[in-house]
């Protein structure tokens, strides 16, 4: 069944982070740059191997799915049991641009990415849908999508009828710290940029929609409707914190390794 899917979602600029998926076929695109280009998915449709090949291959972000427990099987285990389809699940989506770099040449040259589905942020979902890399889903085969989706996720501007995508997760982007190593709590995102006791101990996301959005929010700006000046002020604060070595490094979702280890 590995052949035909693309995906989407994890909202950010408005402070909400989520994830979603859409099923589709690859379309032809010269290497690379999607600006202004449109493709017809029908021109490059992968062969449906689902009858012969009972596998489902998915790439997702780290920690974006439940683990099995002694009392309850995981979502993947329940899916495999109820469908008879074996899942090959990899948490190799660390950053939108980083992952896109892995698959763009295959997408652009009408080759399989060796994945049936992958999970990305809204803005990247909008990008691949706009180019024409996503095949519409059959609503009859995904009834839960339209019956159970909450109103706030039902009609995104980039896929208003959810023809090409479905939410995977939605939530908030925030901050985390280990109180065992701090004398006082971190109460705002702005403190990460200025507190001297945090110098060299801060990591931030490479996803600027998250990082810059939260900095602007801490400065009183609306990250969903900001001015050029507000962006520049936020960028100056981030640049200064970087040059002052306040920020140890920028990461994708591999920050979870430090978080899990208590670093």
* pLDDT at residue 27 is higher than 50: no
Question: At which of 172, 203, 219 does a domain end?
Answer: 172
CATH code, 57: 3.40.190.10
Both 93 and 189 in one domain: the answer is no
Asked if 244 and 200 sit in the same domain, the reply is: yes
Do 124 and 16 share a structural domain?
A: yes
Q: pLDDT > 90: what percent of the chain?
A: 38
| HSE-CB for 92 with a 13 A CA cutoff | 14
The whole domain housing 123 covers 6-172
The predicted pLDDT at position 37 comes to 63
> Which stretches of the chain are DSSP H helices?
75-83, 96-108, 122-131, 143-148, 151-154, 189-194, 208-218, 228-243, 255-261
Question: CA 55 to CA 252: how far, in whole Å?
Answer: 28
Query: 101: Cβ–Cβ under 8 A, 6 or more apart, which residues?
Result: none
Q: What is the mean pLDDT of the chain?
A: 81
Specify the DSSP element, H or E, that contains 250: strand 247-251
118 and 142 both lie in a single domain: yes
Give the pLDDT band (50/70/90) at residue 131: confident
Instruction: Tell how strand 117-118 and strand 55-59 pair up.
Output: parallel
Q: For 202-245, how does the pLDDT look when each residue is reduced to its tens digit (9 = 90+)?
A: 999 988 888 999 999 999 999 889 999 999 999 999 999 999 99
User: What pLDDT is attached to residue 111?
Assistant: 78
* pLDDT at 38 > cutoff 80: no
Nearest-angstrom CA–CA distance, 119 and 3: 16
Q: Which domain-ending residue is among 116, 143, 172?
A: 172
118 burial (CB, 10 Å; 0-12 / 13-18 / 19+) is buried
Comparing C-alpha atoms, which of 235, 226, 227 is closest to residue 204?
A: 235
Residue 199 is predicted with a pLDDT of: 96
Most confident of 54-58, 178-182, 215-219: 215-219
- pLDDT at position 161 is 93
Q: For residue 40, is pLDDT > 90? A: no
Domain co-membership, 219 together with 243? yes
The count of domains in the chain is 2
Is the domain of 123 the same as that of 204? Answer: no
In a domain, 194, yes or no: yes
* Boundary residue ending a domain (103, 137, 172): 172
- Read off the pLDDT of residues 136-179 as tens digits, 9 standing for 90 and up: 888 888 888 889 999 999 999 999 999 989 888 887 778 888 88
Per residue in 74-83, pLDDT (tens digit) is 999 999 999 8
């Amino acid at each position: 069944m590995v052949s035909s899917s693309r995906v989407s979602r994890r909202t950010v600029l408005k402070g909400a982070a989520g994830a979603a998926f859409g099923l589709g076929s690859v379309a032809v695109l010269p290497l690379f740059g999607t600006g202004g280009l449109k493709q017809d998915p029908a021109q490059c449709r992968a062969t449906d191997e689902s009858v012969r090949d009972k596998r489902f291959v998915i790439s997702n972000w780290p920690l974006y799915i439940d683990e099995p427990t002694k009392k309850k099987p995981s979502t993947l285990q329940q899916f495999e049991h109820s469908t008879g389809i074996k899942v090959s699940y990899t948490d190799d989506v660390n950053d939108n641009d980083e992952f896109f770099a892995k698959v763009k040449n295959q997408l652009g040259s009408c080759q399989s990415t060796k994945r049936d589905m992958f999970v990305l942020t809204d803005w990247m979902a909008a990008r691949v849908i706009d180019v024409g890399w996503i095949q519409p889903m059959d609503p009859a085969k995904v009834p839960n999508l339209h019956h159970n989706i909450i109103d706030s996720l039902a009609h995104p501007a980039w896929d208003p009828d959810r023809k090409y995508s479905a939410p995977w997760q939605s939530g908030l982007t925030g901050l985390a710290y280990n109180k065992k190593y701090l004398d006082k709590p971190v109460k705002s995102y702005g403190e990460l940029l200025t507190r001297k006791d945090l110098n060299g101990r801060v990591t931030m996301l490479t996803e600027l929609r998250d990082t810059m959005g939260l900095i602007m929010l801490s400065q009183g700006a609306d990250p969903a409707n900001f001015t050029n000046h507000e962006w520049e002020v936020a960028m100056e604060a981030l640049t200064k914190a970087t040059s002052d070595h306040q920020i140890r490094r920028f990461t994708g979702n591999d920050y979870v390794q430090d978080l899990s280890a208590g670093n």
